[in-house]
Amino acid sequence: MTIIRNGTAGNDRIRMENLFPFSETIRVNGLAGHDELVGAFLHYNELFGGTGNDTLMGGANGNLLDGGAGNDVMDAWQSDSFSTFRGGTGNDYMRGGNSGNLFDGGTGNDTMIGGNGADIYVVDSLLDRIQETYVPYFDNDPNPADQVNSSVSWKLGANLENLTLLGTGAINGTGNGLANLIIGNSGNNTLSGGAGADTLEGGLGNDVLDGGAGIDTVRFSGANAVRINLGNANPQATGFGNDNIRNIENVLTGAGNDNIVGNAVANAITAGAGNDVLWGMAGNDRLFGQAGNDRLRGGLGNDTLHGGAGADRFIFAAGDGADRINDFTDGQDRIVIESGAERFTDLRIADLGADARISFGNVTITLANSDHALLTAEDFLFT
């Protein structure tokens, strides 16, 4: 049941209190005028300011506060449940509680203040202001991830984790010192992670993806075939646009047939479905082929290879180092040796605990949870 109270065309002051039972919803419509609407403390409140410069005060049990037209003040700082704020037109002030809030200031230059919960902020003006007032109850109490959805260029402030750019315009997104997830739109974006272990997803368009400091990841979603070289500092056709990828260590792709090349540092390259080609280059890399018939080459360094489902090929050459294959399937996967050995009899194969170890020259390949006695010449290709 909903208890409804309507204001007038004038300046109204409506306070809802001493109402039972607490399970009922309170709805107050201010209509015209400069109104002050106060919801019931222990009910769910729906307060609509209408036209005019209104003040809306929510309760503790969740709120929908809609300022409408005008410069409105909306406050639900006492709420222990999720609250939604809609600013409408005008320069609005919104303050939420500690159990998560959705702030949509609408047009105008708005101030949005969140609490300890996972808050969502919708931004449409460079002069919008976000303040995330996280105060932990206990030491090391984690801050739930907050989300900013912006149709203008935006830089994340303190205690804000995630940023998504809206629309099709050429706008930019910048992170902070936290581990940020920054997602571009279909325009030409510059995404900058800053400090922290960030994940950047440019989407369509010709984007600049700069991880900055920290161990950062570039992510590609969908079925487009991705082709990138982390060692290439110039724009490259990635399958989503001509993107410039800088200061990125890790790659995460979608369902296409991808071709990913790492760089000189330790890379983690994870492909999705599709028949993928992954090359770690230098560094101690981790390659994950996932589904599909994949080709994995660790390159220099001591690498860990995981082919996933499908008939995979693990490629090695002289000088590659000490690598480990975590999921070699006898009779399905193949080990390809391009140099350093010419035939099966050139290999030294033995057990090492629960694993099988293959050696040639200075190269060592460990097959996790494998029996060396099951390996035959059919498991190898020499090129």
> What is the model's pLDDT at position 341?
98
DSSP tally for the chain: helices H, then strands E: 0, 40
- Going from the C-alpha of 365 to that of each of 46, 218, 314, 329, the distances in angstroms are 65, 29, 10, 14
pLDDT of the residue at 350: 98
Spell out the domain ranges in the chain.
1-144
Residue range 263-291: mean pLDDT, rounded: 97
Structure tokens at 189: 């974006």
The confidence score (pLDDT) of residue 249 equals 98
Q: What average pLDDT does range 27-54 have in this prediction?
A: 95
User: What value does the mean pLDDT take over residues 138-145?
Assistant: 79
In a 3-state reduction of DSSP, which class is residue 317?
coil
Confidence of residue 4 (pLDDT cuts 50, 70, 90): confident
Split at pLDDT 50, 70, 90, the class of 138 is confident
Instruction: Work out the pLDDT band at 3, boundaries 50, 70, 90.
Output: confident
Nearest-angstrom CA–CA distance, 125 and 277:
43
Q: What's the whole-number average pLDDT of the chain?
A: 96
Phi-psi region of 340 (alpha: psi -120 to 50; beta: other; left: phi over 0): left
Helices of type H across 127-187:
none
pLDDT confidence of residue 136: 74
Residue 2: band (very low, low, confident or very high) from pLDDT cuts 50, 70, 90: confident
| Contact status, residue 379 vs residue 335, Cβ threshold 8 Å | yes
Summarize pLDDT for 84-111 with one digit per residue, the tens. 999 999 999 999 999 999 999 999 999 9
Which pair of structure tokens corresponds to residue 136?
Answer: 């932990």
CB neighbour class for 67 (10 Å; exposed up to 12, middle 13-18, buried from 19): buried
Q: What is the mean pLDDT of residues 47-56?
A: 97
Tell me the mean pLDDT in the region 329-353. 97
